[in-house]
Homo-oligomer: A and B are copies of this chain.
Amino acid sequence: MPVKSYDFVKGLLEDYNSLAIKTLFRYIPELEPRKYLYELVSSYPGRPGKGFRPALCIATCKAFGGTESMALRSAVAIELFHNAFLVHDDVEDDSDFRRGDKTLNAEYGIPIAVNVGDAMNVLSIRPLMENLSLLGPEMTWIVFTEIEHMVRQCVEGQAMELGWVHENDTGLTEEDYLRMTLKKTCWYTIIHPCRIGALIATSGEADPDRFNRFGYYLGAAFQIQDDLLNLIGEKEKYGKEIGGDIWEGKRTMMLIHLLNSSEPDEKQWLGHFLSIPRRHRNPEDVENVYRLMIKYDSFGYARSCSRNLAGAALKEFFTAYGALPDTRDKEFLYRIVLYMIERDL
């Protein structure tokens, strides 16, 4: 049964994602300058991605009685914004790999990567403007407002996380982590794609706050699972360097758990390790952080948090979608919850 259910989820996810990506490419101008701008704008969207965000937006729109094409432009804008965010995130984290290939900053340097991300952000405005003819001025406006909130939450979450690394904060709690994740991940990955889909389908009638708890639980479960895969996944499937988060000193739930569980001398050593600039850390020390995470079962702890959050998301699913007629898209949205935290890539 689980295998079959994931086949269904994977199939529809792939359908929605390829539709969104195909449409997204129509918004990348075939103009100069190509070599250091529009060709690079195509780079991340052209690599294999999972496409959760456009799929959640389109499926929610359909589950609420709308059509694929009503949500498509907004889904494309969200996906474009997501890719812009990844480009800048890779600069900010000094990452080398993304979706199985070199990051733009690793290949072309920071200046060009920053500018490409800026270009992707401005390109995401066009599909939102084209909502006008299909959805009318009022709904176009509502979607704009949603997107503005989404992007603002995202930079706020990013600022929290970057501030922790900048100050080498070793006194964080699980609550700090979850608050940061709500801002950095949950709004733009789950909550806003669902809100926008439902608002469009119902001409603004559906109360979009119904998705806030569902999206918070699911987004946090997803982020913890993503961070776990970064540490214990397979590079070929995951597409980034395994252990990159430890090299970066990223405050994951596992690292926070470790800092709060370890003995004083270990914590002191960890604080010292985290104070060293990324490029000066050495593999033996990174290995040692792993060993400590195993010693204190930080992986197991985070995995169980992720599962609990996913359980809460499944429960909240009924608040968000329970009253709707049973459709293929509603089924998809229910099943994607477990898929997002049990996936191995």
Contacts and interface: CB of A to CB of B under 8 A. Distances in A.
Interface string A194-230: 0000000000000000000000000000000000000
Interface in A79-125: 88, 91-94, 108-112, 114-119, 121-123, 125
Interface string A33-72: 1011100000000000000000000000000000000000
Contacts of A31: 156
A35 B92 contact: no
A166 interface: yes
Contact of A162 (B115, B145, B152): B115
Contacts of A158: 115, 118
Number of copies: 2
B110 A155 contact: no
A156 B33 contact: yes
A145 to B, nearest CB: 7
Contacts of A163: 33, 35-36, 112
Interface size class of A (residues with CB under 8 A): 35 or more
A166 B114 CA distance: 14
Contact of A33 (B93, B112, B151, B159): B159
B88 A37 contact: no
Contacts of A155: 37, 115, 118-119, 122
| Residue of A37, A91, A123 contacting most chain B CB atoms (<10 Å) | A37
Given A114-B114, A115-B155, A122-B155, 20 more contacts: A33-B159, A36-B160, A36-B162, A37-B155, A37-B159, A88-B114, A88-B115, A88-B118, A92-B110, A111-B162, A112-B163, A118-B121, A118-B151, A118-B155, A122-B151, A122-B152, A129-B141, A129-B145, A129-B148, A137-B141
